[in-house]
Amino acid sequence: MSRGWKITVIVLAAVGILSTPLFWLLDGPNTGQLAGATVQAAAGIAALVWALLQHPANLTQDSATRTGRAHATDGGTATTGVKRTAGQGRGSAKAEGTGDATADGAGSNASSGIEYR
């Protein structure tokens, strides 16, 4: 959930918690109004707790454009472009015009473009 939506939900939940139940309870409520105020306040509190527990939108937008050359030897890693840990971030990754990636030696790795590990 984005920060803007989270703030909106929190504000609306606070208004829902305080508005109508407050007006009903100031007038000397009957049983139905008291039940309605309780349900409305509970719904507002549930929305507030839900919004507070939402993680920020983990959107990453990785971009690599016209990258240079990379060279690795003896088990090193060469990457030209975007390298992201698998499962991290939900945004887009874009690589354009990547250069050459060269890796020599046992256990070495080369990537030109987008690599999820």
What's the pLDDT score for residue 28? 76
Q: Please, which residues have CB within 8 angstroms of residue 48's CB and are 6 or more apart in sequence?
A: 9, 10, 13, 14, 17
Each residue's pLDDT expressed in tens, for the chain with a length of 117 residues: 667 777 888 888 788 777 766 777 677 778 887 788 788 888 878 888 887 787 665 556 777 787 777 778 877 788 777 777 766 666 777 778 877 888 887 778 787 777 777
What's the pLDDT score for residue 35? 82
Strands (E), the chain: 62-65, 70-73, 77-84, 93-96, 101-104, 109-116
What's the pLDDT score for residue 105? 77
Whole-angstrom Cα distance, residue 110 to residue 70? 8
Residue matched to tokens 């309780």 = 38
Whole-angstrom Cα distance, residue 54 to residue 20? 26
What's the pLDDT score for residue 57? 59
56 DSSP 8-state letter? P
Determine contact, residues 102/78, Cβ cutoff 8 Å. yes
pTM above 0.85, yes or no: no
